[in-house]
Amino acid sequence: MKTQALVVAHDPVYLNWLQNAVSGIEFSLVRPLDAEDLVQRVQAAGRVDLVLFEFDAAQMEARATLMERVLDRLPDVAVAAVGAEPHPDVVLAAMRAGARDFLVLRRDDDDLALAVSRLLRRSGPSAPAANGRPAPRGKLFTLTASHPHEDIAFTAAHLALALTASAPPPARVLLVDFATPAGAAAIFLNINQAYSVLDAVNDVFRCDQTLIDTAFSRHASGLYVLSLPEDLLGQPKIEAEDCLQLLQVLRSLFSVTVVAMDGHLPTDLLAGVIGQSDRTLWLTDQSILKSRHGKVLLRALRLADCPLEGAGILIDRYRRNLGLEPDNLAELLNLPVIGTLGGDPQVRMQAMNAGEPLSTLAPRDGFVSDIRAVASTLMAGEPQVDTAVGGGLLKRWFGG
């Protein structure tokens, strides 16, 4: 029996195009009155393997609603979008609605049959690889702190940039910023994102390579970025189960994922992400206030049976003899010290305001060399920064 595909479009040119370019599939043009009408047509056909929806700027919202309702009723049917032009807003609307791909009229006709074949083979983000082996898992590093602060996103962004610069191709790095202030990572990297991390959590069961290539923001360095919406008020409402599922999917699609979080997120979410992570960096400074609050949060995580074996302290804005020393912090928080971050606070603020990485704005700043040393330590699986090549302040602490 031939594979059945429906083409939901006003213009029959899409039907002619698909029939001429793809063999072995029986395409039928339909113009449904509404979602219920389309569902009834699919069910009446006996078996439909693929539904293609025409998308353009004039009717993208109506088409998106139609696609979503069909997927709610028929979640096992593969769906994709077709259009005359790949306008970013149109493509994004289609992907958010659940489209697995966006096929452009009379573009790449030689590859169209392969694209349709891929659509028919897909069965969701958790499907095993074609060879029966589990999908590869990239590394997951989490950076968190007891309270919201802009330095969480700033440090996580520079750690991700350092990992991007050092990772051999074709490795890809993703920064996922759940921390508040909302959207800080995107702001510090001068990215105007149209698709946020909350969108990705909501789309967890639709997340695949096509969605990443279409919707995820990307920095000039090659780093992919998902951040909270800049206009978010208060704390984000995130379902822990969906968030953890998303991270599992992303680990199969990226070589390295860096997650930024803060202690105002639900404890079960924090514990779940830390439990998935290869290493966790506990960002703190030398103040007694942050240290005591950090101790309280760590106690709650331990009571929740959160595994902290891969966690360690990263001391930000470190200055010798100006506050708690690394050994004091290690004893207070009952965690080892992984490294320290120095640098000029004024230069850091300039970089934040300019939306430029410190490695570009002030490549000789101490923060730049320190964060590179931390990145190298994480990728090498070492317990702490190698004092022979980085972390000068940590070196003095150890008496090197």
> DSSP secondary structure string, 286-322?
S-HHHHHHHHHHHHHHHHTT---TTEEEEETT--TTS
Look at residue 308 in the predicted model and tell me its pLDDT.
95
Q: Choose between 23 and 196: higher pLDDT.
A: 196
Number of neighbouring beta carbons within 10 Å of residue 195: 20
Angle at 383 between CA 381 and CA 384, to 5 degrees: 115
pLDDT confidence tier of residue 100, bands split at 50, 70 and 90: confident
CB 178 within 8 A of CB 259: yes
| H and E: helices and strands count for the chain | 17, 13
Reported as a single tens digit per residue, the pLDDT across 340-379 is 999 999 999 999 999 999 999 999 999 999 999 999 999 9
Average pLDDT of the residues in 201-208: 83
Handedness of CA 112, 114, 120, 126 (dihedral sign): negative
Q: Which DSSP string corresponds to 187-223?
A: HHTT---SS-HHHHHHTGGG-SHHHHHHHSEE-TTS-
Tally of CA atoms within 13 A in the half-sphere of 249 that contains its CB: 22
Average model confidence (pLDDT) for the chain?
A: 88
Looking at the predicted structure, is the pLDDT value of residue 256 above 70?
yes
Q: Choose between 122 and 211: higher pLDDT.
A: 211
CA 178/CA 235 separation, integer angstroms: 10
CA 169/CA 359 separation, integer angstroms: 20
Looking at the predicted structure, is the pLDDT value of residue 135 above 80?
no
Element at 121 (helix H, strand E)? helix 109-121
Reported as a single tens digit per residue, the pLDDT across 107-129 is 867 778 888 887 876 544 434 44
Reported as a single tens digit per residue, the pLDDT across 145-159 is 999 999 999 999 999
Looking at the predicted structure, is the pLDDT value of residue 232 above 60?
yes
Q: Which residues face 261 on adjacent strands?
A: 144
Reported as a single tens digit per residue, the pLDDT across 48-81 is 889 999 999 988 999 999 998 888 888 878 899 9
